[in-house]
Each structure stands twice: as structure tokens, then as C-alpha cells.
Amino acid sequence: MRDLYGSTIYWHETRPHLPRPALAGRLDVDVAVVGGGFTGLWTAYHLLEADPSLRVAVLEREEIGFGASGRNGGFAMTLLDMGLAHLRRNHGDAAARAAHLAVAGSVEEIGTVVERHGIDCEWVHGGLMVVATNEAQLARVRADLAAAEALDLPGFRALSAEETRAEVHSPTYLGGLLEDHCAVLNPSRLARGLADVVERMGATVLETTDVTAIDEAGARMRVASPGGEVTAEQVVLATNAWAVATSWFEAKVLPLYTYVLVTEPLTDAQWASVGWERRQGIEDKRNYVHYYRRTADGRILWGGTDGVVHAHHRRRPSIRPDYDRHRGVARKLASTFRRTFPQLAGVRFTHHWGGPVGITARFVPLFGTLVPGRLHYGLGYNGHGVAPTHTGGKILRDRVLGKAGDLSELCFVDAREPAFPPEPLRWISAELTRRALLRQDRQMDEGRPGAEMDPLLLRLMSRLG
């Protein structure tokens, strides 16, 4: 596995990046968006679609799609919270239904934007197959199906063990469900393609522009970076896990690293041994899920299994380039891949990387306003942001334009968000929670009861992350 640790992010290799300029000097705009991931890009997109005369600037510290948006699994799916049953239990029927439908709508609308603007991001609308690999996971699948039925949500279908294995040939599957509203895509190509689209719509997109301060400057907001400053009527903060570096979100967002492996392209014979004709995204029902999908050139991206949180201190932040790869998690991933697909025992892995996702105490994202009429935020997708960032861009558009509507009623808008404890308690509690969740995953594999999350764990998770 040693050569994997120098590997690049596979998605970035599939489309060359043409660097954009950094901010130099002064710039005055109507809206400054900080962060060039999906949240920032969709906010710019929806704003310019609503009002093409707006002057919008997107300011990105590294390059477009550098963060989670350019390196994720590429599942545009409806998942919020730990699953539909949890969303329903934690927020009630009406709120869970509204949130699910808003994000399901986003999955379809992303597909429309991709087609309309010719964004070549390897979009495949094959649905999501949720698989159970033990009895306790099967109970969780059934709970999600029951929630879908109770909420009268279309697009869910139960799969027997035989049906699941007929879709994708793994001896570990005991059953599952198929949800229509999911597509897989190449996230780096979507981020880079979307940046081109918003530029054509009139936005100014700046890279290598590190925003070091956001403050009020008389009637306008001032966004400072080493190369200059932007003045704007309104600012949108879209830095997701990196928001932990701000005093506003230090206690509200916990960066958690999730990791993936990518295989070499499989041969036709190897694909025949796996099936997977529908090319759907697949997840299991562990606490630390496995997520996996096919790539356009015939590889398998295999991710999840564990997640790593680092202590956060001003001098040693919890997001650092050397956390982008993790030997222990890569080894675990290789082993669970081989257990799931024993017929692919000889397949090599060519790429390994990870990235920070923003975890929140309630396990749903946060949208709101810090300075009325001036400074808004959208972040903390708990590892599920590909489609919710599109919904989030609309919420932020409405915020900026001062419009109220159904989206502003969603359960994750303007919600009171509990705080994580300060360090070192924060890291200790996050690590204890991680170990407890992994222990429960092991117990479920060993056939011990635990279909529903232990209530103590749920309390721990909701308080400590």
C-alpha cells in the first residue's frame, strides 16, 4: 500500500485545472461568497439566475473544488441525518418530509443544470442501493422503508437478499432498498464545470485568495485577504469544515476526515463477476457506513469504514494537508473491500485520499444569518452535501435577496444549534463517541442486538458529535 500515500485525488486527474487569478487590490461587489466548493458555487449560480445584474464574487483560498466538493464520493443523494428514520424521529413527520423532498428535488435539478450547461461530470442517475450486511443493519433498512411509507415518499423499493445480490454480486448482502433519487457524478468535474458556468453568468471567481477577516465597514461588509480587499453589500460564508477556524463556528462544527480508496480499472471479466449494471451508488447501514460506486473508466471508489477527528488548537488546527491520507483507515478499507468482493481479490488500489466534512451536533446542516441583511452562512453537511448544497444555495439566495419561502421553513434553517465542548474535552468526547460507534458496528457484525442506535450513544452523539 506504500505507493498509495503519495497518490493524487483521482477526480482531479480527470480534468485539467486552469488556474484563476487571486484577488489583487480592491474589488466592490453586491455579494461576496467565501469558499469555492458546491455551497459557494450553487449560491452564486442561484443568485445570478434570479438576478443576472448582481455583481457576485467567489473567493477561494486554494482552487475551485479543493475541499470536500472536489474529492467526495460523488453521490448526489437525499440522505440527511443518519437516515430517513432518524430524520423523522429527530425532527417530526412534516419537517422530515419537507427536508427530504427539497433535497430529492435538488438531485433532479442538478441533473437539469448539468444537461442544460453541458457540464461533463459523468452523471449517472442509477439510484442508491442501501444494503444490509447483518441482521441489525437489515432492521435499519426496514426502519427507513417504514419511514418512507409513513411520510408517503415516492421512489423507495425493498430488495430481498436475492434481489440485492442479483444487482451487485456480493455474498455479504442480506437485503436492502433501492431509492430512485440518487445520481453518481465526478465531483471535481462538477465543481470546475460549475465555476465556468457561474463565470459565464457574470461572476468573478478568484483562487488562491485566503480570506483572513470579514467585518462591517460602515454601510458595507469588508472581506480582507493578503492580496487586497473586497467590499460587498452582503457576504456568504461557505467554508464548511474550515469554518471551525472562525469564532462563530469554532464550537458548532467539528471537522471529521473520511477516506476513500480507488481501484485500477476492472477488466470486462471482473465486471461480469460483479454485475452492477445499473451503476447505482451503494451504502451499507453501519454507523460508519461504507459508500462505493463505479467510475466512468471502470474503477471502484470504496470509502468510509471509519472517520478521524483531530484536536483543534489555534496553532495546530484540526484540518491539515498531512491528514489527507491515513494508513490505518486505508488498510481497513482494503480489507472490507476484499470481504465484500472476494472475486476481486487480485485487484490493486491506485489512489487513496480523504478530506474534512463538517459535523454538527444535530447531524443536519446549518443555515442562517450572523449579521442581519449582511452576513449569512451555510455549512455542516455531515458528509452528505453533494445534493444538499444545491438546496443550500437556494436558501442562501433567498437570504441575500430578502425573500421568505418554503425553504426558509426547513428544519435546518435558523435552528438553535448546540455547541460542542471546548478542547481538550471536545476531542476526547468525539473520540469516545467514535470508539463507541465502531464497537456497536462490530457487535452488529457479531449478531448481537442493536438495530437501533443505543439511546446513550444517541445522546452522546447529539451532545458531543
Ligand X SMILES: Cc1cc2nc3c(=O)[nH]c(=O)nc-3n(C[C@H](O)[C@H](O)[C@H](O)COP(=O)(O)OP(=O)(O)OC[C@H]3O[C@@H](n4cnc5c(N)ncnc54)[C@H](O)[C@@H]3O)c2cc1C
Where along the sequence are the contacts to ligand X (CB under 6 A)?
A: 34-40, 59-62, 66-69, 71-75, 77, 210-211, 238-242, 258, 260, 291, 303, 354-355, 357, 379, 381, 383-386, 389
The DSSP element (H or E) to which 335 belongs, if any, is: helix 327-340
In whole angstroms, the minimum distance from the beta carbon of 397 to ligand X comes to: 15
> Given the complex with ligand X, which of 31 and 136 has the nearer CB atom?
31
> Given the complex with ligand X, which of 270 and 367 has the nearer CB atom?
367
The DSSP element (H or E) to which 101 belongs, if any, is: helix 93-116
Q: Is there a contact between 339 and 305 (Cβ–Cβ < 8 Å)? A: no
> Given the complex with ligand X, which of 165 and 192 has the nearer CB atom?
192
> Given the complex with ligand X, which of 71 and 91 has the nearer CB atom?
71
In whole angstroms, the minimum distance from the beta carbon of 109 to ligand X comes to: 15
In whole angstroms, the minimum distance from the beta carbon of 56 to ligand X comes to: 15
> Given the complex with ligand X, which of 34 and 114 has the nearer CB atom?
34
Which DSSP state fits 421? P
User: What order do you get walking across the sheet with 281-284 strand by strand?
Assistant: 156-159, 175-179, 128-132, 281-284, 290-294, 300-304, 254-263, 349-359
Amino acid at 293: R
> Given the complex with ligand X, which of 136 and 334 has the nearer CB atom?
334
In whole angstroms, the minimum distance from the beta carbon of 448 to ligand X comes to: 29
Q: 484563476: which residue's cell?
A: 20
In whole angstroms, the minimum distance from the beta carbon of 438 to ligand X comes to: 18
In whole angstroms, the minimum distance from the beta carbon of 53 to ligand X comes to: 25
> Given the complex with ligand X, which of 114 and 136 has the nearer CB atom?
114
In whole angstroms, the minimum distance from the beta carbon of 180 to ligand X comes to: 16
Contacts of 448 (CB under 8 A, 6+ apart): 136
Sign of the dihedral through C-alpha 402, 408, 409, 414: negative
Q: Is there a contact between 191 and 45 (Cβ–Cβ < 8 Å)? A: no
In whole angstroms, the minimum distance from the beta carbon of 384 to ligand X comes to: 4
Which DSSP state fits 324? S
- Which residues of 92-174 form beta strands (DSSP E)? 128-132, 156-159
Supply 330's cell numbers.
486505508
CA 442 to chain centre: 25
> Given the complex with ligand X, which of 132 and 364 has the nearer CB atom?
364
> Given the complex with ligand X, which of 43 and 137 has the nearer CB atom?
43
Supply 252's cell numbers.
458548532
Contacts of 111 (CB under 8 A, 6+ apart): 123, 125, 183
The maximal CA–CA distance of the chain, rounded, in angstroms, is 67
Contacts of 417 (CB under 8 A, 6+ apart): 252, 360, 361, 362, 366
In whole angstroms, the minimum distance from the beta carbon of 423 to ligand X comes to: 20
Q: 468482493: which residue's cell?
A: 341
H helix runs in 33-176, sequence order? 38-50, 68-71, 84-91, 93-116, 135-150, 161-167
In whole angstroms, the minimum distance from the beta carbon of 160 to ligand X comes to: 26
In whole angstroms, the minimum distance from the beta carbon of 164 to ligand X comes to: 20
Q: Is there a contact between 465 and 457 (Cβ–Cβ < 8 Å)? A: no
Contacts of 353 (CB under 8 A, 6+ apart): 7, 8, 9, 10, 71, 259, 260, 324, 325
> Given the complex with ligand X, which of 266 and 329 has the nearer CB atom?
329
> Given the complex with ligand X, which of 79 and 411 has the nearer CB atom?
79
CA–CA distance, 290 with 309 (Å, rounded to integer): 18
